Structure formats: C-alpha cells, structure tokens
C-alpha cells in the first residue's frame, strides 16, 4: 500500500534517537543539512533518474552519463553551490556523489586537478587550474599502461627533452606502453596528466608527470600523433560502463618544457635536471589523496548495501508460522544476524576511520607545506593499508548483502548487483589491494627492525614500543562480559599484530638476501599487514566479530586460549540481540533517499512485494506478450515436436 510505513513497527523498537544518530553519521548538523538538501534536490530532478539504466545499451548509457554530468554542472552554477566556479566545494562534491553515476568528472575533479595542485609549480597552477575549475579543459590521469599498472617505476612511455626546441617529445615506444585504463580518457578528456620516463641526453631520470593536450578544443578530434579510444565493456551491465576508460598512444608528440609538473623536480632551459630537496615519492601524492577518499567512500558503499539488506530482512518472512500466523522475519534468525550485523558495524567503523584518515591526511599535507616530511611514510602506509582493508571488506560485504536478500537480491531492481559491479574494481584501482598491503608490510618490518636501534615508533605503530609487554601478553578474559571492555579487545589486537610482525621479521632475518626473503614470505607479510590495519579500525561489535573470524591468529600467537575464544563468541551473540531492535533505525540514520539507494528491497516504506511485481512489468522483454523471435525460433521447434509426436 502506497503511503503506509510497513517498517513502522521496527522503527518503534529503536532505543536511541535516530535524528541524533543522523548527525553523528553525517559528521555535524551542518553536514547533515547539506547532504539532506542536496540528496533531495537530486532525487526530485527527472534528469537524474536512474531506475532505467540497467536496460540501456552502452552508447545510450554513455550519452545519458554526459547529459547528467552537463546537467549537474549547470545546477552547480545556477544554484551557486560553490562560491567560485569550482566543483571542489563540498556542495558540488555531494551533488556528484548523489547523482551516483561514475563519469569523467570524477577523474577531472578527483585526480587531474589534484595532480596539478600537488605537483605543479605556483606558475603552472595559475595557468592550468582556472581553466580546469571552469571546465574549459577536461582532464584525466594517465598513468597505467597496458603492460604496467602496479609497477609504476616500470612505465615505458618516454618524455625526451629536445634542447633545440625547448620541448619534450612524448612517445609510446611499444604496444605495452600504450596508456590503458584512465577514466575519462576514451571519449571526453581534452587534456591528461601523463606519467612518462624523463629522458635527458640519453639519461633516464625515472617517472614524472606531464600535462599533455589530447584533443582539439574546437572539434574534439585527437591532436596529431595521438591515437585514442575506449578500452571496451567492463564487468556488469550499467555499473562502471558509464565511464570511458581509455587507450592512448603517442607518436612523437611535442609539448613545451613548462608542461612538465615541476614542483618536485625541474628541467632547466639548458636541459639540466634539478631535484628539489623533497622525497621523490611526492610524485605519488595524487594516489595518496585518492586512497584517502576511497576509504571515506567505502563506508558509503557498504552502508548502502547494509541498509538494503537490513530493511529487506525485516520485511522478508520465512518459516516458523504457527496456526496460520505470520512467519518469522528473517532478521530474527541468528545466522542472518551474525552475517548482517558485523557489516552494519563495519559501515559505522569505516565511517569513523575515514574521518580519522582525513585528519591524518590534512596533517601530513600541512607538514609537507612546512617541508616536514617525517610523517610521509606513516601517511602512505595508513592510506594504502586502509584503502586495501576497507575496499576488500566492502566489496565482500556488498556480495554478502546480496546473498542475505536471497533470490530477490539477484534482481537488478534490488540495486545490489550494480552496486557490487560498480564497487568491486576499488579493490584494484588506486593500487591493487595485495600490492598495497605489501607496502604496509615493508613499513612494519622496517619499524620492527629499527626498534633495536632505539628508534621510537610513532603514530599507528606506537604500540610496537611496548613490544616486550605485548610478547608476554596473554588475555585475562574470564567471562563473556570481559570482552566488552575496549582495552581488553585492543590489547588482544595489539598483541596479535605485534607477534605476527615480529614473526615475519624473524623469518626474514634468516634470508641472506632480504628481497628474496620478502618475496618468499609475502603471504605471511600480507596477513601481518591486515592484522595491523584491523587494529586501526577496531571497535566493539566489529572487533569481536573480527576476533571470531580470525580466531586462528589469536590462538596460534598465544594471545588468547580457545576458552576465551568461545567467550568472545558468546558475547557476540549477546551483542547481536542488543543490536536487533535497533537495526532498522541504525540504517535509517544514513538518511539515504530511495533515489540514492536505487533498491526496491531497501525502500524506506518497506513496501517491497507490490513494487517488485510492478517493476517486473516494466522490463523491455514484457513490452510484447509474445517475444520477438517467436516465429523464427520457437514456433518451428514446436511444430517440429508436433510432427514428431504424430509420427
Ligand atoms: C571524486 C574524487 C575521487 C573520489 C575517489 C573515489 C573513488 C575513486 C573513483 C574511481 C577510481 C578511478 C580512478 C582510478 C585511478 C587509478 O587507478 S590511477 C593509478 C593508480 N596506480 C597505482 O595505485 C599504482 C600502485 N603502485 C604504486 O603505488 C607503486 O608503484 C608502489 C608503491 C607499489 C611501489 O613503488 P616504488 O616506487 O617501486 O616503490 P618501492 O616499493 O621501492 O618504495 C620506495 C619507497 O617509496 C615509498 N612510497 C611508495 N609509495 C609512496 C607514496 N604514495 N607516498 C609516500 N611514499 C611512498 C615506499 O614506502 C618506499 O619507502 P622506503 O624507501 O621503504 O622508505
Ligand atoms: C575501473 C578502473 C579504473 C581505473 N582508472 C585508472 C585511471 O584513471 N588512471 C590510471 O592511470 N589507471 C587506472 N586504472 C588502473 C589501475 O590503477 C591498475 O589496474 C591497478 O593499479 C592495478 O595494476 P595492474 O592492472 O597492473 O595489476 P597487476 O599488477 O598486473 O596485478 C595482477 C595480479 O598480480 C598481483 N601482483 C602484482 N604485483 C605484485 C607483487 N609485487 N607482489 C605480489 N603480487 C603482485 C596482484 O595482486 C594481482 O593479483 C583503473 C583500473 C580500473 C580497474
């Protein structure tokens, strides 16, 4: 029934103030009001409708994306969502987020602009940023190649300095050096920040960023020497196919010398390479920025899936009917709770860890401005590790939510297949998750090895300073409630991470060649890195379900014994019972509109069955009662069978 809240009985059970929790989730009252206003604005605008997108072909889908991006930009300007002509302001960022359709603009604002801001000189910023802010040029981030993505130092594209003309010659020497994947490149971008090996007088100075114009600003045709196109359909139907991930090759394309991004190092008119007194890793700065954004984004994607699965689990009933009464809500099954509630808790935990990471990132940025590079390794390890941890958990969590919704979760109208398809590449882009965990492992091993030299570990590795104590530690948990004390949980996680790191460091020391040891022990190193990253995010329910999931680690490292493991599980069951009456209210606190959720199963009013039934009839296959192709392919078969039957 329209207008009836089928979930009201669930909402009445809540033991906390949902409106207050909405503010906690949003970050502040101001943020809440902003999100609320912008999400409603998007939901009520017919251009931003998205319920029809699963049935669109690639070309229509792409054109629809262009239309939405252009309309979003128009709205930003009309509503003066940002003071300047810039879409970097929170309002404009939120508008793009609620439009919920990946587009070239994500890369323009999310990578092209930050690359120039972070790696361009003041002069370069003054020249390029106003053009980019007004979208008079549209840029992308062209780093990955057909042959190399993870190994940035292995990129093959060259930028050779020509002192005669004061230019760089950008060239793709091999097929594998073709740029491959950059979003927005395939059909839209007029410019790119291209990463290429700097060659001066035959000497290779490694990978640097260059601003290169790709297409004419008049007719949008590729400039001479440039070959460009889309790399083809990707996983899922609509999902990430709204994006024109592209291929690009250069045939001796010339650009002026001042288009090398020169904040970190410079090439003079005479062809002299000058490296500023800053770490070369600052060339990777844009990736650090985006990894931090991706962590913040993980809680959004996971919370959407959890919201759908929680509301639907309260609506869906199976078994347990007595004397013709109602069947049991599937959310009341302990198995459903043990799969769903840790994800609900994870969404909240990732929301808070995202805030913390933003603080860390802001802090390191301020320090870099003051030429203090001391916290850069910690910022790199935290952004890389948490990007890996949160995206893996979110991608797995979305898929689990699909299963939690049974068969109906497999329908596109549940919103879950598309959410998964659009999200899962987050485990790969901005750094493959395993490659990133290996970076964390290097940081941890280095930290352990420096302890003997008296180096005091700082930041998230500070617990290693108590190594002796952590190596002696054995949990003193005696009853299930002991697991409710944050310190008890935290110490167990610290001891587990410390012991796994120390074990890796000890095993590494047995190798005469450390690099060989690192390769050989990579799987253990990744597990130690995961343990360290989990330590960063632990909080009550979440921590206990993780402890239960990784019980083997905790027991094998001697941090807890099997009895204490069972007590943790007992406590977990108690906590699920406490979460149960609050579950629907906890997902209401995300304040998502039905437009943004894009899911019949997750509708706010819980009116699932009539709407699912209605939606089915909208499928293009139901446009005709007898399908196209009946006469050619089905009727002859039927007639054939009839003839055979008569024989
Ligand atoms: C709308 C706004 C955006 C919103 C965001 C939301 C969603 C995103 C949406 C869509 C995504 C779309 C786009 C995706 C884009 C891309 O994918 S761009 C391409 C990204 N590519 C990668 O991430 C490549 C991964 N590889 C690397 O980062 C490096 O090659 C790797 C770190 C693996 C190795 O580098 P290498 O130079 O070979 O280093 P070493 O292992 O030898 O390390 C040398 C030292 O440098 C330190 N280090 C490495 N990286 C960094 C860094 N980024 N910052 C600081 N320091 C770094 C490393 O720790 C070593 O230090 P020590 O020498 O040990 O002290
Ligand atoms: C949707 C999407 C959008 C993207 N957008 C952009 C963009 O805008 N701009 C851009 O430049 N790039 C972009 N990329 C590329 C992306 O950054 C790379 O795909 C990513 O960095 C992974 O690199 P790769 O593809 O080379 O994977 P590979 O490194 O080839 O990974 C293959 C396998 O090898 C393993 N592996 C690799 N190295 C190691 C190692 N040292 N030790 C152990 N295992 C290892 C990995 O774990 C993985 O299992 C995008 C990719 C996707 C999927």
Please tell me if the CB atom of residue 148 comes closer than 6 angstroms to any atom of ligand 1: no
* CB half-sphere exposure, 317, CA atoms < 13 A: 8
Neighbours of 69 (CB within 10 A): 22
Query: 348 pLDDT band (50/70/90 cuts)?
Result: very high
Residues 6+ apart with CB under 8 A from 69: 103, 104, 105
In the chain, what percentage of residues exceed pLDDT 90?
Answer: 90
pLDDT of residue 92: 87
Beta strand 191-200 with 158-162: parallel, antiparallel or unpaired? parallel
Query: 324 pLDDT band (50/70/90 cuts)?
Result: confident
Active site residue 123: no
- Quote the CA–CA distance of 405 and 393 in Å, as a whole number: 18
User: 319: left (phi > 0), else alpha (psi -120 to 50), else beta?
Assistant: left
Of the listed ranges 77-81, 94-98, 529-533, 613-617, the one predicted with least confidence? 77-81
Closest ligand 1 atom to residue 438 Cα is 33
320 annotated as ligand-binding? no
pLDDT of residue 84: 53
Query: 80 pLDDT band (50/70/90 cuts)?
Result: confident
183 annotated as ligand-binding? yes
- Quote the CA–CA distance of 464 and 176 in Å, as a whole number: 43
Query: Residues 116-134: pLDDT tens digits?
Result: 999 999 999 999 999 999 9
Average pLDDT, the chain: 95
ipTM of the shown complex: 0.98
Taking the centre of ligand 1 as the mean of its atom positions, its distance from the CA of residue 525, in whole angstroms, is 18
- Quote the CA–CA distance of 430 and 83 in Å, as a whole number: 30
- Quote the CA–CA distance of 48 and 71 in Å, as a whole number: 9
pLDDT of residue 87: 57
Query: 64 pLDDT band (50/70/90 cuts)?
Result: very high
The CATH code of domain 139-279 reads 2.40.110.10
Taking the centre of ligand 1 as the mean of its atom positions, its distance from the CA of residue 116, in whole angstroms, is 17
Of all ligands present, the nearest one to the C-alpha of 241 is: 2
3-state secondary structure 299-319: HHHHHHHHHHHHHHHHHCECC
Please tell me if the CB atom of residue 40 comes closer than 6 angstroms to any atom of ligand 1: no
Residue at token pair 């972070």:
118
Query: 540 pLDDT band (50/70/90 cuts)?
Result: low
Which position among 91, 145, 400, 430 bears the catalytic label? 430
Query: Residues 160-202: pLDDT tens digits?
Result: 999 999 999 999 999 999 999 999 999 999 999 999 999 999 9
Please tell me if the CB atom of residue 117 comes closer than 6 angstroms to any atom of ligand 2: no
Structure tokens at 409: 């979760």
**Domain residue ranges of the chain, discontinuous segments joined by +:** 1-44+280-453+480-611, 139-279
Taking the centre of ligand 2 as the mean of its atom positions, its distance from the CA of residue 152, in whole angstroms, is 10
What 3-state class would DSSP assign to 90?
Answer: helix
What 3-state class would DSSP assign to 142?
Answer: strand
- Quote the CA–CA distance of 484 and 554 in Å, as a whole number: 17
Instruction: Classify residue 175 as exposed, middle or buried by CB count within 10 Å of its CB (0-12, 13-18, 19+).
Output: exposed
Closest ligand 2 atom to residue 185 Cα is 8
Please tell me if the CB atom of residue 149 comes closer than 6 angstroms to any atom of ligand 2: yes
Least Cα distance to 544 among 585, 576, 587, 584 occurs for: 576
Q: Give the closest residue (by CA) to ligand 2 atom 17.
A: 429
CATH topology of domain 1-44+280-453+480-611: Butyryl-CoA Dehydrogenase, subunit A; domain 3 (1.20.140)
pTM score: 0.96
485 has pLDDT over 90? yes
The more confident residue out of 53 and 291 is 291
Which helix H or strand E contains 546, and what residues bound it? helix 540-549
- State the average pLDDT over residues 71-98: 79
Please tell me if the CB atom of residue 289 comes closer than 6 angstroms to any atom of ligand 1: no
* 94 close to 237: Cβ distance less than 8 angstroms: no
Taking the centre of ligand 1 as the mean of its atom positions, its distance from the CA of residue 430, in whole angstroms, is 7
- State the average pLDDT over residues 403-408: 98
b/e map 27-42, b = 16+ CB within 10 Å: beeeebebbeebbebb
Beta strand 139-142 with 179-180: parallel, antiparallel or unpaired? unpaired
């Amino acid at each position: 029934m329209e207008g009836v809240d089928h979930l009201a009985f669930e909402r009445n059970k809540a033991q906390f103030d949902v409106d207050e929790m909405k503010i906690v989730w949003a970050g502040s009252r101001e943020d809440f009001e902003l999100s609320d206003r912008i999400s409603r604005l998007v939901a009520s605008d017919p251009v931003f409708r998205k319920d029809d997108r699963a049935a669109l072909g690639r070309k229509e889908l792409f054109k629809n994306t262009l239309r939405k991006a252009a309309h979003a930009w128009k709205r930003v300007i009309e509503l003066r969502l940002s003071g300047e002509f810039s879409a970097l302001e929170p309002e404009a960022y939120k508008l793009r987020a609620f439009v919920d359709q990946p587009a070239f603009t994500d890369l323009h604002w999310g990578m092209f602009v930050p690359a120039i801001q972070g790696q361009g000189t003041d002069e370069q910023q003054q020249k390029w940023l106003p053009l980019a802010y007004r979208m008079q040029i549209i840029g992308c981030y062209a780093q990955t190649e057909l042959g190399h993505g993870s190994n940035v130092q292995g990129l093959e594209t060259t930028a050779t300095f020509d002192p005669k003309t004061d230019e760089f010659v950008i060239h793709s020497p091999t097929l594998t050096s073709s740029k491959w994947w950059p979003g927005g490149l395939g059909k839209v971008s007029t410019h790119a920040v291209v990463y290429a090996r700097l060659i001066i007088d035959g000497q290779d100075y490694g990978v640097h960023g260059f601003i290169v114009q790709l297409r004419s600003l008049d007719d949008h045709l590729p400039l001479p020497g440039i070959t460009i196109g889309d790399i083809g359909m990707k996983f899922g139907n609509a999902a990430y196919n709204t994006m024109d991930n592209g291929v690009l090759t250069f045939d001796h394309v010339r650009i002026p010398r001042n288009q090398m991004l020169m904040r970190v190092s410079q090439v003079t008119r005479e062809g002299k390479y000058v490296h500023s007194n800053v770490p070369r890793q600052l060339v990777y700065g844009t990736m650090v920025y985006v990894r931090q954004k991706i962590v913040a984004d993980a809680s959004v994607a996971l919370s959407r899936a959890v919201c759908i699965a929680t509301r639907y689990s309260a609506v869906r009933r199976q078994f347990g009917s007595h004397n013709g009464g109602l069947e049991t809500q599937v959310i009341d099954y302990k198995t459903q709770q043990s799969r769903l509630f840790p994800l609900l808790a994870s969404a909240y935990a990732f929301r808070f860890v995202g805030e913390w990471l933003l603080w860390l990132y802001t802090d390191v940025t301020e320090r870099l401005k003051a030429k203090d590079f001391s916290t850069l390794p910690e910022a790199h390890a935290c952004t890389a590790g948490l990007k890996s941890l949160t995206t893996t958990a979110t991608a797995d969590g979305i898929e689990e939510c699909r299963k939690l919704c049974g068969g109906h979760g497999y329908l596109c109208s549940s919103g879950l297949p598309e959410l998964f398809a659009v999200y899962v590449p987050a485990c790969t882009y901005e750094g493959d998750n395993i490659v990133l965990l290996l970076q964390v492992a290097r940081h941890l091993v280095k930290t352990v090895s420096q302890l003997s030299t008296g180096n005091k570990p700082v930041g998230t590795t500070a617990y290693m300073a108590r190594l002796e104590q952590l190596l002696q530690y054995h949990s003193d948990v005696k009853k299930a409630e002991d697991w409710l004390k944050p310190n008890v949980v935290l110490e167990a996680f610290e001891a587990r991470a410390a012991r796994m790191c120390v074990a890796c460091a000890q095993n590494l020391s047995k190798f005469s060649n450390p690099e060989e040891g690192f390769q050989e022990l990579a799987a253990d190193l990744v597990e130690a890195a995961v343990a360290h990253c989990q330590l960063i995010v632990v909080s009550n329910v979440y921590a206990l379900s993780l402890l239960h999931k990784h019980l083997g680690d905790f027991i094998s490292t001697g941090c807890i014994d099997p009895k204490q493991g069972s007590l943790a599980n007992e406590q977990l069951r108690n906590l699920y019972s406490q979460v149960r009456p609050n579950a629907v209210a906890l997902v209401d606190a995300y304040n998502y509109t039905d437009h943004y959720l894009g899911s019949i199963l997750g509708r706010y009013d819980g009116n699932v069955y009539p709407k699912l039934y209605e939606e089915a009839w909208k499928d293009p296959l139901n446009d005709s009662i007898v399908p196209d192709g009946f006469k050619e392919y089905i009727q002859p078969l039927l007639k054939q069978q009839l003839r055979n039957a008569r024989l």
